Structure 1
Amino acid sequence: MSELTLKGQQAKAAALVLSQAKAKVKNEALQALSVSLIANTTMILEANEKDLATAAENGIRDAMLDRLRLTPERIVDIAEGVKQVATLADPIGEVTHMWKNEAELTIGKQRVPLGVIGIIYESRPNVTVDAAVLCFKTGNATILRGGSEAFHSNLALVRVIRDSLASSGFPADAVQIVEDTSRETAQQLMKLNAYLDVLIPRGSARLIQTVLEKATVPVIETGTGNCHVYIDSEARQDMATKIIVNAKASRPSVCNAAETLLIHEAVAHEFLPSIIAQLRAENVEIRGDELVASIVSDVILATELDWETEYADYILAIKVVSGTDAAIAHINKYGTKHSEAIVTDNYFTSQKFLQQVDAAAVYVNASTRFTDGFEFGFGAEIGISTQKLHARGPMGLNELTSTKYIIYGEGQIRE
């Protein structure tokens, strides 16, 4: 029996137990896990240091190292996310609506777990905890397959999770990790239809595309983040500058970071010198169109590839546009339907942008960096879905459930 088949069988058995667990007991287990993560900080950081050392030897760039790095503060944040999930309402068993049909049957629609969820992800070890606790809270078992770059960190985190769940009376196999990080094993996981109910990839465009092409298990597509900020002609310069610097430079390696700045031609000459100066102060490389290059010196001329690239790095493409229609057209052509923002004081322009931009999250006068389950009040997220079926945007608890119909009768038969 293969490792994956065994894990699949164990996960199926664990999922049955989880599906029947009461909210109070699950919440107590999550509170205990939060404490356990803090208690095991030293062990987790030692494992993370091994991954960081290997990544540095392999020449991984700084922005990607930041995705990988754990600190005592980040572990506290992760533990806080676990506690917040424990405080959220449990969706399992909720009857969202109920009605009677002509036959006087009482029909209800009830939230139920998906079952066993497979997660394939890269780099960020916090995903290990986010995915595990969200799946656990919603009665789903999970099989995790992280990237080789976070191997030791992920093993350490899963060890803490499994031990903590077992101490709380739950099957440790509710959360499992695939220790073989080879491509072949990943592709076997993508075809584990007998045990997986859904597969969620989280990572680079290449990873997500590979899963979409290879998987036979149903996939929820989480998106790459080619996100834009559009500065309208009626934007305030101080607000626009603050938003784009935050959206690009606060954490450029994450999927909600801005990759392209679009700016209205009416304010480009006035705004760009100051904006670019502040971006460069944050070590951001600028790639601009010809008009941008004519306004500010030492700009690398952007190519078609720049408009469609998620850099995940200290690089920003800038394009001057003729107006809101041109900005919307550019975003809908090159965006990945993740997060888009407009900076404007014109209400009607903002409403046009909100209605016409095709993305999971659309902002008016705020940074794209807020597209995050924790920031949205979900406690954590399993990914940002950019598809339109089942779930869209940050995937919290409700998005990890399915439904079934429950029907009450009094002896009715269909004529």
Structure 2
Amino acid sequence: MHPERVRARLDRSATTALRLGHEIGGWMRRGHDDRRLHRFTGHLDVLDGVLSRMLGAVVREIEAIDPRAASGEAYRRCGELDGAVFTIRRLFDWYAAKYDQRRDPVLAGILACADEVVLSCWRQPFEDLGREPPTGPLAYVEPRFDAFATPRVSVPPDLRLPADSLVAEFVGRLPVPVVCLPEWTAVQAWWLTLAAHEVGHHVHKDLDPGLENASRDALAEATGDERWRRWALESFADAYSVLMLGPAAAWIVEELGHGPPESLTRAHGGYPPLPVRLALMAEVARQAGLGGAGAPGLAGAAGALLGLRAGGRTLVELSGLSPGWFAERGTVRAQARSLAGSDPFLPRLAEPYSARLLLAAAATVVDAGPAAPSALHANLLRHLPRCGPPGRLGVSPAGPPVARLAEELTGRLLGSTR
């Protein structure tokens, strides 16, 4: 084959890669300038650093192909590197679509609320330890029945097809955790309560590297039942959600899990049976000073979770919990009474805990019985984005430095083409 045709083939591959680089660079610049993404500048820096390094390595590989070599080999190598560019494209698109939801008129309002709730639940324990929180979770909405968290080293449910296996591997390695919320949050904002449990998974992973194993050991020892090792991660997230939201956390679990009696006695996934989950959450609430009858049979399990330590402090201490917030005359009850009206008076929304308490108040309204759901939703859309002090969802990633991670992923990407 004439060398000019080989050069044209090389140029096609190089042009495709360079065009993607320009697209990613332009999107990143717009993201940094967009007020709606101001919480995520740390995320964007991580993604830009990794994607740019990977794409640059692919371009250098294309440029290294000798157009005078055997044309079949040149074409074969170009095809392999085109596949690498597609992997980078798929990885970029997977993340960009989730940030871009904040530019969607239908979803922008609820995600502005979600960002404040996630931030409120995320940074509390890190700041109580005097640490800068690592890059925190990115919330997004998807047509799903439930919510889920994708921490680092997890595979997102929408990336489990064989064609996406390498993309899923990279998503699992990148220090940009995500929280998926069901689409009905866009019309019923109080379902953002689900975020507290999902953020709890990320806190569990990133607050202390030994915390997950410590949870398994503590629960198994406290209960004498090895099944709690399987249930430890979800039980930690349940306990964390109680410390963030009070009784509202249990209400949402019961609402999602409610079903025929015979279905409630089975454990599924990493969860204990629903009655056990609810009883554990009730006992966590009682031991944390939030009142209620609790569940004495699960005192050991609840105590094991609340007694977990990071930086020498217990989970309760790191949660920033004040039981008075949930008392009869406390902040949550007062806000619930106000939120039920058409023009609520909601002072003191600038505290780090304000978003989660306001959300707990909304769930209290719904749990209490008939209300005006459209008014409640509108009130949350109006007031949740006003909550909390200024801040970002972390500026430095958990895990290895970005440059080292980018080098590792680039090696994995190029290795997959040979």
Structure that is richer in helix per residue:
2
